Amino acid sequence: MTLIVCVCDYWKRRHYYNRQPVQSAAGDTGKSHKKIVRRLSLELDAIAGNYWLRELLQQKVLCHRLERDHEVQLLWLSLHPPEHDTIDYKWADMLAHTIWEHIEVEHLMSWLSTLGGGFSALGEQFERCAQTAGKISLQQLTIGLRLGDPFLQARCKLYYSISLIQCGQLRRAKRLIRAQYRFAKQHEEHDQRLVRMCLGIWLRLRFEYQERRGRRLAADNNS
């Protein structure tokens, strides 16, 4: 039998660990039979109780000692608030560093968005500026991958598709926009702007296709 651990918190709620599911025995007549369980009760503050629980669930040495040497079947841990609160300085430093890094990345993304928008506007007239805007979008995508934000990644890919359209790579842009549109429709409840971005860039792509067909027809008529 595995040692059952019960933690009773400040509000007298019980949390069981290692408890086996109850199964009805064969030939049960419906009458309840109470089985005597050897129990060990301990009153601990929450900090000590946390160490006890980690030892019991992870190391298993203490569990085996209690079961083998003392025949304990249920360990009851009643928790009460500690006299002095403790501060996890290591975790606080890690959290502060993560938050500060996130703030710096957001600041960098805003600058890249402004710079990319300027080059994208110039890309309507100069292909070299369109290529630079595409490189900026790829840098933003790298940051989005590091942050693990799929919606940010999708927006960066759509920005990159604008650069592809300006450079005349319409087929690559079409595949990219369609992929992001499928993703946007699956998560429309979380980010409706993404769907509108896809539709707006798709209209721009259709316009470029129409312009290309018009130029080809004009060239055929002149020849």
Q: How confident is the model at residue 19 (pLDDT cuts 50, 70, 90)?
A: low
Q: What is the pLDDT of residue 175?
A: 93
Q: How confident is the model at residue 25 (pLDDT cuts 50, 70, 90)?
A: very low
Q: What is the pLDDT of residue 24?
A: 43
Mean pLDDT of 79-106: 84
pLDDT in tens, 122-174: 888 888 888 898 898 888 888 888 878 888 888 889 899 999 998 989 999 99
Distance, CA of 88 to CA of 83 (rounded, Å): 16
Instruction: Return the higher-pLDDT residue of 2 and 4.
Output: 4
Q: What is the pLDDT of residue 176?
A: 93
Three-state SS annotation for the chain? CCCEEEEECCCCCEEEECCCCCCCCCCCCCCCCCCCCCEEEEEEEHHHHHHHHHHHHHHCHHHHHHHHHHCCCEEEEEEECCCCCCCCHHHHHHHHHHHHHHHHHHHHHHHHHHHHHHHHHHCCCCHHHHHHHHHHHHHHHHHHHHHCCHHHHHHHHHHHHHHHHHCCCHHHHHHHHHHHHHHHHHCCCCCHHHHHHHHHHHHHHHHHHHHHHHHHHHHHHHC
- The superfamily (CATH) of domain 95-213 is Tetratricopeptide repeat domain (1.25.40.10)
Q: Per-residue pLDDT for 27 more than 80? A: no
**90 phi, psi to nearest 5 deg:** -65, -45
In the chain, where the domains are located: 4-20+37-80, 95-213
pLDDT in tens, 31-46: 555 667 788 899 988 8
Q: What is the pLDDT of residue 202?
A: 93
